[in-house]
Amino acid sequence: MNGLMMNVPLSITAILEHAERCNPDVEIVSVTRDNPRHRYTYREAFARVRQLADSMAQWGLAQGDCIATLAWNDYRHFETYYAAACSGYVCHTINPRLFPEQLVYIINHAADRYIFLDPDFVPLAEQLAAQCPTVQGWVVLSPEAQMPATSLPGAICYETLLAAGADSFVWPALDENAACALCYTSGTTGHPKGVLYSHRSTVLHAYATLMPDAMGLSHRDVVLPIVPMFHVNAWGTPYSCPMTGAKLVFPGNRMGDGATLATLINEEGVTMSAGVPTVWLALLAHLKGSGQRVDSLQRVIVGGAACPLSVMEDFDTYGVETRVGWGMTEMSPLGSVNTSPASREKYSDEAFAKVRLKAGRPIFGVEMKIVDDHGAELPRDGVAYGSLKVRGPWVCSSYFKLEDSDAHAEPGWFETGDVATIDPQGFMAITDRTKDVIKSGGEWISSIEVENVATDHPKVAEAAVIGQYHPKWSERPLLVVVRGPNGQDLTASEMLAWFDGRIAKWWTPEAVEFVDELPHTATGKVQKVALRELFKDFSFD
């Protein structure tokens, strides 16, 4: 027998309508290129979203078509999110830090129809445009007066486009399983892969992140998402804040600038912020150097990479609670949050330092387990470690346009590529990665591509790259080289110079170490675990 409850679809349109009715006067504040402090309310924001959707409706797009963005965190990006998704299109957020070839690949793979871009990215887009045949127009997120001169074919001014639309636009009814957003991850080997979110998964994820032991947001909060809107929807904050009536503060292209962040926190009364460890180092360095404080700030969510204890202890001195969050693009992204600081009194100093470094407990909706090499589940004793698998309504079931080729080793479970322990209280801790990628400042570096360039060097016999702890970037690549027969004179600087022009600068290894041989598996693959063990005491200092 079924229950007798209404089957109302979970849609992003419902978030927008709720905020218009219940939180109309709550502000959204943004730093943009044309205005250092733009401010308006949810009421004004969503009226403009209707105008934008009305203008977009004239383009004759089909439901499910992709509208892409190459943009910083600000109100125009926020408007594009909602106008695209609530019209039944897919908002494809592109990471501008990818290489031009990767950008061209994902734009073509998604078959993007229009690209909304910040003026900052116009020169980049001009390089790509000729290789992107599906793109019919490039919408520059700018008022007419500040439109940059551009050779982009069919360049459109955002504010002019929006002004042509009517705010009486009526939203279409959407299926809750309809796609709403797309984000490519290069956290896997090979080409970047698309993660396609649905209205339902996005709403459920946003609900879950609001819980007290997750982000714990309410209408009393002022939220500064420093994590980019092109990186897993800024961890859901553009949806969770309008849901609960929290004020949003967007830092624009100043997310790495400690002084701007501190000013925004103090002047806007920010209570909660979210970002990768690298941005907190910038903020803390500014606070220490300037003597400024951030008294309104109650807590920060630190995720995307392991958070150093020193960051947490520095935040302690400012009275700010650090919550470690773990997740993935494939998980919308939030999987677990560590709220141990809320029960500080339960722990000795030593135990607290240990527990707070863990990735936290799963938020309800995400199930986790660790398995051995044969897929057998391992005990949750805090000691056994194995491949971490997850499942839940906001975990991806397969990658975009790879639905047929994706075979999960165990159907119904997603393999994260992380190695973890889980303790009897449910705290998960990441101990290693099985995926061959390195995460530097929150962005992925493919070790395989770096290795391929290294082994092209005529004096190199074999090379392997591993991620090593770095105080600023969380991880940086360390290149380990076996010299070839004619390479006995190969030096580290000669090796590093080889990468110039062959690879993006920030992918270039931080250091080179030479060894006589690399550890191998029985099938001849380099044993990264053994290599990491060999270099466990290595330091970049």
Instruction: State the residues that interact with ligand AMP by CB under 6 A.
Output: 185, 187, 232, 303-306, 324, 326, 328-329, 333, 359, 416-418, 430, 433, 439
Is 439 considered catalytic here? yes
Q: Which of 13, 32, 93, 185 is catalytic?
A: 185
Q: Which of 72, 326, 444, 473 is catalytic?
A: 444
Query: Distance between CA 414 and CA 406 in Å, rounded?
Result: 11
Q: Which of 79, 321, 330, 451 is catalytic?
A: 330
End-to-end CA distance of the chain: 66
Greatest Cα pair distance, the chain, in angstroms, is 78
Pick between residue 165 and residue 303 the one whose CB is nearest to ligand AMP.
303
Pick between residue 238 and residue 333 the one whose CB is nearest to ligand AMP.
333
> b/e for 156-174, b at 16 or more Cβ within 10 A?
bbbbebbeebeeebebeeb
| Closest distance of CB 317 from ligand AMP, Å | 22
| Closest distance of CB 430 from ligand AMP, Å | 4
| Closest distance of CB 442 from ligand AMP, Å | 7
Q: Residue 105: enclosing H or E segment and its boundaries?
A: helix 100-110
Closest CB to ligand AMP: residue number: 329
Query: Distance between CA 331 and CA 297 in Å, rounded?
Result: 27
Looking at this protein, which amino acid is placed at residue 116?
F
The number of helices, as runs of H, and strands, as runs of E, in the chain is 16, 25
Pick between residue 114 and residue 473 the one whose CB is nearest to ligand AMP.
473
Which spans in 301-396 are helix H? 309-317, 349-355
| Closest distance of CB 225 from ligand AMP, Å | 14
Query: Would you call 140 helix, strand, or coil by DSSP?
Result: strand
Pick between residue 54 and residue 314 the one whose CB is nearest to ligand AMP.
314
Pick between residue 274 and residue 324 the one whose CB is nearest to ligand AMP.
324
| Closest distance of CB 107 from ligand AMP, Å | 19
What tokens were used for 366?
A: 């995400």
Query: Distance between CA 102 and CA 191 in Å, rounded?
Result: 8
Pick between residue 439 and residue 483 the one whose CB is nearest to ligand AMP.
439
Query: Distance between CA 177 and CA 7 in Å, rounded?
Result: 13
Is 202 considered catalytic here? no
* 474-483: strand order across its sheet: 460-470, 474-483, 511-514
Please give the sequence-ordered ranges of beta strands (E in DSSP) within 164-240, or none if there are none: 179-185, 193-198, 222-225
Pick between residue 88 and residue 365 the one whose CB is nearest to ligand AMP.
365
Contact 269, 464 (CB under 8 A): no
Provide CB contacts within 8 A for 38, sequence distance 6+: 29, 30, 31, 32, 74, 75
Contact 418, 306 (CB under 8 A): no
Pick between residue 19 and residue 306 the one whose CB is nearest to ligand AMP.
306
| Closest distance of CB 444 from ligand AMP, Å | 6
Q: Is the backbone peptide bond immediately before 333 cis, with ω within 30 degrees of 0? A: yes
Distances (CA, A) of 445 to 48, 93, 395, 420: 38, 19, 23, 21
Is 389 considered catalytic here? no
Is 32 considered catalytic here? no
| Closest distance of CB 529 from ligand AMP, Å | 15
Query: Would you call 138 helix, strand, or coil by DSSP?
Result: strand
| Closest distance of CB 389 from ligand AMP, Å | 12
- Catalytic residue numbers read 185, 330, 439, 444
